Amino acid sequence: MLPVLRRGISILGRDSPIIDIGGRRTFLKLGAAMAGGALFGRGAAEAGTSDAFPPQDAPWSQTLGPGIVDRPYGQPSQFVKDVIRRDVPWLTASKESSVSFTPLQDQTGIITANGLFFERYHGGRASVDPQQHRLMIHGLVDRPLLLTMEDIKRFPSVSRIHFIECPANGGMEWRAAQLNSLQFTHGMVSCAEWTGVKLSALLEEVGLKKEAKWALVEGADAAHMDRSLPIEKCLDDCLVVYGQNGEALRPEQGFPLRLIVPGWQGNVNIKWLRRIQIGDQPWFTREETSKYTELMADGRSRGFTWLIYAKSVITFPCPEKPAKGPGIYEIRGFAWSGKGRITHVDVSTDGGVNWERARLQEPVLPKALTRFTHEWRWDGKPALLQSRAVDETGFVQPTIAELRAARGVNGIYNNNSIQTWQVKADGSVFDVQLS
């Protein structure tokens, strides 16, 4: 055991005597530090004292950490264990047909970590064996096809970064400010790099008949979740993907195969994709009639409102990440549009009276989360923070009042309104709506 250890040490460029002499002592010290850290670490640090502060040598500096492949699949630090997907228990009847929310307050870049990508199931998370999974393409085509995962991976591959947003994101906020949390008001949006095959390539391979106008896309989950899509969108930029941020799709995201419909509501991005049927008219499935239609104030309803219009939200400060005393703050947030690139984002700190242009951080990609930042000198007085996105079509993100005037309050879906965060003098932040 010891010689192995010594060899390891010399690779790291340390002197072996450190371990020989101090092995037992440092181990004991670390044990004490870990127990202390778990129980008192944070309190002590906040009180301004800690064994880790200079000039002391921190406990974790005085011993070796676990070696490679201690965790063959990496995990986040134990100190960020609170950064997890969360749900609103009163929202749905069951966990199998429900939603969980991404902790956007802790998302540091445009890519959502695979373990934190929001979930939406209609029949629970399917456990699909990739060896036995098949994609069937049939209907108004010249050559119906049954493809294995191996077949699909042989087609030319592409990688694209796109957001997915459930159109019910913010759906609880139509009547009034309800949920005091960025995670719960906006956490049904996430963004990833997706790798797979262009749907157009698969449709060329089967050969579309002249009358082909619509595709029914369907999952292998318990709900056989399905939607109708116009063939123009299928041929435009849809992807059939097996990769997510450099690894296989997560089961939560449809392993082994899902559809990506860039910029369109999350619901049409069918997970566990098993079937594509080509037809000449839509199917009017339950998920595009009973659900995912928008009831207007006049009693009529809008259907096939697939596009996600431009939207943005400030992720710092926010209810989960309050301000701490006057001074300079970098206001941070995300903007996105299903119609293309975000061209700019404006930020207001006075409830929308005056606006200033925020800085967009590269990369600014079409139909992807875009990061913005804005320097704010907070004087410690109450403030009302807002962000307003504009996309490359010139569309300007509306206020909730404008949306209500156009649609009423019963639509549930497609709430892309400007979010207002009230910052109180003590720095605490609340979800509010303005008249």
360 forms part of the interface with another protein (CB under 8 A): no
325 forms part of the interface with another protein (CB under 8 A): no
Q: Which parts of 47-188 are beta strand (E)?
A: 99-100, 119-120, 135-139, 145-147, 158-165
Nearer residue to another protein within complex by CB, 15 or 350: 350
279 forms part of the interface with another protein (CB under 8 A): yes
For residue 387, the SS3 value is strand
The footprint of another protein on residues 206-225 (CB under 8 A) is: 206-207, 216, 218, 222-225
The residues pairing with 396 across neighbouring beta strands, listed in sequence order, are: 390
84 forms part of the interface with another protein (CB under 8 A): yes
350 forms part of the interface with another protein (CB under 8 A): yes
7 forms part of the interface with another protein (CB under 8 A): no
Instruction: Pick from 16, 62, 200, 373 the residue near another protein by CB under 8 A.
Output: 200
Sheet of 311-316, strand order: 311-316, 327-336, 370-378, 359-361
Task: For the CB of residue 113, give the shortest distance to another protein in the complex, in Å.
Answer: 16
Q: Binders of another protein: how many residues, by CB under 8 A?
A: 110
The footprint of another protein on residues 179-198 (CB under 8 A) is: 179-181, 183-184
- Token readout for 287 is 């998920």
| Cα 194 to Cα 434: distance, rounded to the nearest angstrom | 38
Instruction: Pick from 30, 52, 248, 304 the residue near another protein by CB under 8 A.
Output: 304
303 forms part of the interface with another protein (CB under 8 A): yes
Please, is 88 exposed, middle or buried when counting C-beta atoms within 10 Å of its C-beta (0-12, 13-18, 19+)? middle
Instruction: Pick from 36, 130, 230, 352 the residue near another protein by CB under 8 A.
Output: 352
The footprint of another protein on residues 328-347 (CB under 8 A) is: 346
Nearer residue to another protein within complex by CB, 64 or 136: 136
Nearer residue to another protein within complex by CB, 32 or 146: 146
399 forms part of the interface with another protein (CB under 8 A): yes
* Residues 222 and 272: beta-carbon distance below 8 Å: no
132 forms part of the interface with another protein (CB under 8 A): no
The torsion angle over the Cα atoms of residues 201, 202, 207 and 208, rounded to 10 degrees, is -90
Residue 225: Cβ within 10 Å count: 25
Nearer residue to another protein within complex by CB, 33 or 323: 323
Going 351 to 354 to 360 to 365, the CA torsion angle's sign is positive
199 forms part of the interface with another protein (CB under 8 A): no
Nearer residue to another protein within complex by CB, 89 or 325: 89
Nearer residue to another protein within complex by CB, 51 or 87: 87
Going 303 to 308 to 309 to 311, the CA torsion angle's sign is positive
Nearer residue to another protein within complex by CB, 307 or 364: 307
| Cα 157 to Cα 260: distance, rounded to the nearest angstrom | 14
Task: For the CB of residue 116, give the shortest distance to another protein in the complex, in Å.
Answer: 13
Chain centroid, CA 243 distance in Å: 16
| Cα 354 to Cα 356: distance, rounded to the nearest angstrom | 7
Contact mark string toward another protein, 366..385, x via CB under 8 A: ------------------x-
Nearer residue to another protein within complex by CB, 56 or 410: 410
290 forms part of the interface with another protein (CB under 8 A): yes
Element holding 421 (H helix, E strand): strand 420-423
37 forms part of the interface with another protein (CB under 8 A): no
* Residues 143 and 241: beta-carbon distance below 8 Å: no
